[in-house]
Amino acid sequence: MDVARRTPAASLAPYITGAIEGWEQTGGSASTLREVPIPGVPMILNLGAKWNIETAGRTVALDSFTGGLSTGPSLVHGASSWACIELRLKPLGARRLFGRPMHELANQVIPLEDVLPQTRELVDRLREARSWSARFELLDDFLLRRLARSVDPSPEIEWSWARLHGSHGRAPIHELADELGWSHRRLIARFRDQIGLAPKTFARVIRFDRAVKQLRAPTTRNLAEIAFDCGYFDQAHLNREFHEFAGTTPGAFAAARLDSGGIAA
């Protein structure tokens, strides 16, 4: 497997979380990966065979794809040989890039061209490029041009997102509404439009993602310590969240970790 990673350009950092990654597997074996909720929006630019994605009991074959924030697991079935570029957009970055109310995409996996009509042309150019660095340059240019024509997010929602993110999902929602001078109902409606989930649900996803990262770490602490550090009442609370968000237990999730960093189904 060939893996290339690139830190987003400084001008893209406000919209993307983590590195942009290029993946290519040739002559391997078909595999199934378990994808779980993250506090970001995945965007896959496919350079090889299609993916079969199973979510909420429904399986679809997709080329390049994306989806809004989710509250449940998906199973991604890949061919023996495949290639793609993967990035994770911050929710407000996705709102700007796609120009769509994010609640319309929540808990869905859809063709990328449904929200980015230029996807096919971009992917053709990515496939023709001769190196990962050239592909990353093409993608940077596309994203910057698209974002330059986008609408700025609500500063109140940007502030609320930063508070929840910075507190690891522990900031009380009623305090956010009070500090903004908004009703609880108004905060929920605006948050769903620009982020995709209600703020309380988004806070749960943030806490879950923090637990997932600790379970994926090479040296993992025991589950009770992880539960306490991530803001759960106890280990039973952590187990319930994993059952809902990941469709498995924390122990089984950790045991399924692959060398690539993915999680086997």
What mean pLDDT do residues 222-235 have?
A: 93
CA dist 139 and 125 (Å) reads 10
CA dist 6 and 23 (Å) reads 12
pLDDT (0 to 100) of residue 202 = 98
Residues 155-255, CATH architecture: Orthogonal Bundle (1.10)
What mean pLDDT do residues 120-149 have?
A: 96
Phi, psi of 252 (to 5 degrees): -65, -35
Structure confidence by residue, pLDDT tens digits, 11-62: 999 999 999 999 999 877 888 899 999 999 999 999 999 999 998 888 999 9
Contact indicator for 54, 75 with CB cutoff of 8 Å: yes
Q: Is the pLDDT of residue 260 over 70?
A: no
Sign for the CA dihedral angle at 178, 181, 187, 193 comes to negative
Q: Is the pLDDT of residue 238 over 80?
A: yes
Provide the 10 A C-beta neighbour count for residue 40: 19
Structure confidence by residue, pLDDT tens digits, 78-112: 899 999 999 999 999 999 999 999 999 999 999 99
What is the pLDDT of the chain when averaged over all its residues? 93
pLDDT (0 to 100) of residue 56 = 80
pLDDT (0 to 100) of residue 43 = 97
- With tokens 């041009």, the residue in question is 145
Structure confidence by residue, pLDDT tens digits, 51-86: 999 988 889 999 999 999 999 999 999 899 999 999
pLDDT (0 to 100) of residue 51 = 94
pLDDT (0 to 100) of residue 257 = 79
Contact indicator for 241, 8 with CB cutoff of 8 Å: no
CA dist 149 and 147 (Å) reads 5
pTM, to two decimals: 0.94
Structure confidence by residue, pLDDT tens digits, 151-192: 999 999 999 999 999 999 999 999 999 999 999 999 999 999
Domain borders along the chain are 2-148, 155-255
Q: Is the pLDDT of residue 261 over 90?
A: no
What are the DSSP calls for 76-110, one per residue?
EEE-SSEEEEEEEE-HHHHHHHH-S-GGGTTT--E
Contact indicator for 247, 72 with CB cutoff of 8 Å: yes
> Is the CATH number of domain 2-148 2.60.120?
yes
pLDDT band at 259; cut points 50, 70, 90: low
Q: Is the pLDDT of residue 265 over 70?
A: no
Does residue 158 sit in helix, strand or coil? helix
Residues in the chain: 265
